[in-house]
Amino acid sequence: MPDGRMQQPFFGMGHPKPSEAQSALRKHFIAAAGEFVGTFLFLFMAFLGHLMTVTTAGDSGPNKTLSASSVVYISLSYGFSLLIAAWMLYRISGGLFNPAVTLGLVVTGNLPPVRGLVLFPVQVLSGMCAAGVVSVIVPGDIKITQTTLNPAMTVAQGFFLEMFLTAQLMFTILILAAEKSKDTFIAPIGIGISLFVIEIAGVYYTGASVNPARSFGPCVASRQFTTYHWIYWFGPFLGALVAAGFYHFLKFMNYEDANPGQDSAGQHEVVGAGQPEQGRRRSGSGNGNENKERNQRSWEMDRVGSQGRDVERTGNGYGGPPRSRDGTSSGAPPRSRGSGRQVDMDGYGGPPRL
């Protein structure tokens, strides 16, 4: 087999359709496949960690409830499992893995309703599969992973706690992932940590479901439902709607204007070696002439360097072939200077260009 075919999907035996030729149904199918795999991996790893923690726990809380150490381990299992699964698959399906999150994204306009209808049953089915596989692949009772109320909690308390916990998760997803910014690509880290904090706060009291698929799967696998199982559906759904309502309020009020510049690249920031203003934000009309002078000097240095002259590096200027730190020439061509801000932390670069 030619080496080139080894790098192609299915070894080149078929040719994928270009994006513009793919139907909407095909795209929904691909997203559903990614969502099924992601939800399965998330809950499969989380259930295994949960089961191991409770089975091997050497202590317990009052009335055979979870101890503080068990709560921490369970929280780590769910939080980090979500972090990894979402980071792997958010480019494919969005990395939702939760019917309540799906609802929240639909009502905020961040997910088409048809896509939401496709993903909803896939997430529930995947949760059932994850719990079923765990129940047969390792020793222990999958019932341990069910979300149940603390004996001291009432059903109403459990319902509203699930609502608030889910609102926290939903708003984290909306503000970090749905709202695009320069740090959106690391949103899975914030979402995973958010779930970890939620689990720490709620596992002892309600099991901290915040995900109907997470609660439904173990109940199906163990063939046993609690009489208050409904709170693990309606509580998260209501929490997602609360977060969505607050999100709509912020968008309506143009929240970006309340604290502007949070996603700025810092074009007015000057950072350079040997400068007294190092690390400070410089703005205002008083620095305009000085900035223009720096830009002019930088342009002259670039012009001289491009003619092959050896202009020695200084703490805040450069020219000629780049020199290594031991003083020898590296032979590399002069670095071009773009239109963006140059940040020079060690003195090897020209003055900032605005």
Residue 204 main-chain phi, psi, to 5 deg: -65, -30
Question: What's the rounded Cα separation, in Å, for the pair 149 and 205?
Answer: 6
Question: What's the rounded Cα separation, in Å, for the pair 297 and 10?
Answer: 56
Chain-centre distance for alpha carbon 118: 22
Q: 């695009």: which residue's tokens?
A: 180
Amino acid type, 277: E
User: What are the extents of the domains in the chain?
Assistant: 21-255
Q: What is the mean pLDDT of residues 97-112?
A: 96
Q: What is the mean pLDDT of residues 324-344?
A: 45
Question: What's the rounded Cα separation, in Å, for the pair 150 and 207?
Answer: 8
Question: What's the rounded Cα separation, in Å, for the pair 168 and 177?
Answer: 14
Radius of gyration of the chain (CA): 27
Q: Are 208 and 66 in contact (CB under 8 A)?
A: no
In this prediction, residue 128 carries a pLDDT of: 97
CA-nearest of 96, 122, 115, 121 to 33 is 122
pLDDT in tens, 260-308: 887 776 655 444 444 444 444 434 444 445 555 655 655 555 554 444 4
Instruction: Kindly state the helix (H) or strand (E) to which residue 270 belongs, with its residue range.
Output: strand 269-270
Report the topology of domain 21-255.
Glycerol uptake facilitator protein (1.20.1080)
Q: Are 209 and 236 in contact (CB under 8 A)?
A: yes
Residues present in the chain in total: 354
In this prediction, residue 6 carries a pLDDT of: 74
In this prediction, residue 45 carries a pLDDT of: 97
- Beta-bridge mates of residue 317: 314
Q: Is the pLDDT of residue 153 over 80?
A: yes
What band does 192 get if pLDDT is binned at 50, 70 and 90? very high
* Residue 280: DSSP 8-state: E
In this prediction, residue 263 carries a pLDDT of: 76
